[in-house]
Copies of this chain bind each other. A is one copy, B any other.
Amino acid sequence: MKIGFIGTGIMGRPMAGHLQAAGHELVLHRHRSDPPAELVDGGATVGTSYAEIAAAVEVIILMLPDTPDVEAALFGANGLATGDLSGKLVIDMSSIDPIATQRFAERVAKQGGGYVDAPVSGGEVGAKNAALTIMIGGTVEDVARAQPLFEAMGKNITHVGDVGAGQITKVANQIIVALNIEAVAEGLLFASKAGADPAKVRAALMGGFASSRILEVHGERMIARTFNPGFRIDLHRKDLSLALSSARSLGLSLPNTATAQELFNSCAAHGDGNKDHSAMVTALERLANHDVA
C-alpha cells in the first residue's frame, strides 16, 4: 500500500519502519528536520507539500504529539485537506481529544475520505518491537482496510467502536495507569513508613488481588529510584488534562484523577516533568516527609 506517514518521531519512526519492512511504500513529510535516513535509504520518498502527499497515497497515517498538531496537519493553511482526500483513508495514531477526533472525521468525510482513530500504548519499546497495543475507532470497512497495517505495528489490536472510540479508550487507559501508579505509591509508602521493607511487600503482593502491570514495573522503579523515562510526567499531565477537561464537558466527576494530576503538577513544580511517571511517588513522599526507599 502507498502510505503517507506524518510524524516520524520517537514512536512514529520505528512504526513507519515496520510498515516499510512489510513491503509498503512510504511517502514522508519534511517538517522541522529531514526524515529519518534509514527510511529514505529503505525507499521512502519525501513529498514537498501535504497536498502532494495526499494526492500520491491511498492511506495517510498521523503520529503527532497533540490535538492542535493533528488539526494543523489536516486542516491548516497548507494541510492535507488542501489536497484531494476523496477515497483516501486517514488513520490518526496520535493520542488526542476524542471529541475533536469526531469533528476531524466529519470534515474528512465531507471530502469523501475515511477516518480511523487508532492511538497506541506500549511506548518506544512497544513501537520498536512491533508489539503496540492499538485501540481503534471507525467503521468496520475502514478498520478492515487498515488492519494489515496495524498487524505490522502491534500485537493487541482491538476495534472498540465508532470514530472516537479509540481515543476514548486511550484516555481511559491513561486514567487507570495514573491511578494504579498512585495506588502503588500510597501502598508502598504506607508499608515503608510503618517499618516494612517495600521490596518484600511488593513481592508478597504480586500474586494476589493487588497485582498489576504497574505494581510489577513501576513499583520496582519506585523502590530502585530509577525515574528515567519510560513515559514522561509532562506527557501524562497532557493526557490527564484531556481526561479532566473531557470529564467536565461530559458531566463526570473523576476525583482521584484530579488528585493524581495535582501530584504530577507537584512533580513539575519541582522540575521533574521530564522524569518517568512512576516518580509521582515523590510528590506523596514530600507530603509525608518520608521516602519509600
Contacts and interface: CB of A to CB of B under 8 A. Distances in A.
Given A179-B186, A204-B160, A253 B196 contact: no
Interface string A8-25: 000000000000000000
Contact of A197 (B155, B160, B201, B259): B160
Given A246-B190, A284-B253, A175 B183 contact: yes
Interface of A: 98, 121-122, 133, 135, 137, 155-156, 158-162, 164-165, 168-169, 171-173, 175-177, 179-180, 182-184, 186-191, 193-197, 200-201, 203-215, 217, 243, 246-247, 250-257, 259-260, 284, 287-290
Nearest to A288: B252
B208 A121 contact: yes
A204 B251 contact: no
Nearest to A286: B253
Nearest to A182: B256
Contacts of A186: 175-176, 179, 254-257
Contacts of A190: 168, 171-172, 175, 243, 246-247, 250, 252, 254
A173 B121 contact: no
Contact of A173 (B133, B173, B208): B208
Nearest to A183: B179
B207 A156 contact: yes
B212 A213 contact: yes
A161 B193 contact: no
A155 B207 contact: yes
Nearest to A252: B288
A187 B190 CA distance: 25
21 contacts: A133-B207, A135-B205, A155-B207, A156-B206, A156-B208, A160-B201, A160-B204, A161-B196, A169-B191, A169-B196, A172-B201, A173-B208, A179-B180, A190-B243, A190-B252, A193-B250, A194-B246, A210-B213, A252-B288, A253-B288, A256-B260
Contact of A176 (B183, B217, B287): B183
A211 B209 contact: no
Contacts of A168: 190-191, 194-196, 201
Contacts of A288: 251-253
A62 B177 CA distance: 38
A3 B293 CA distance: 39
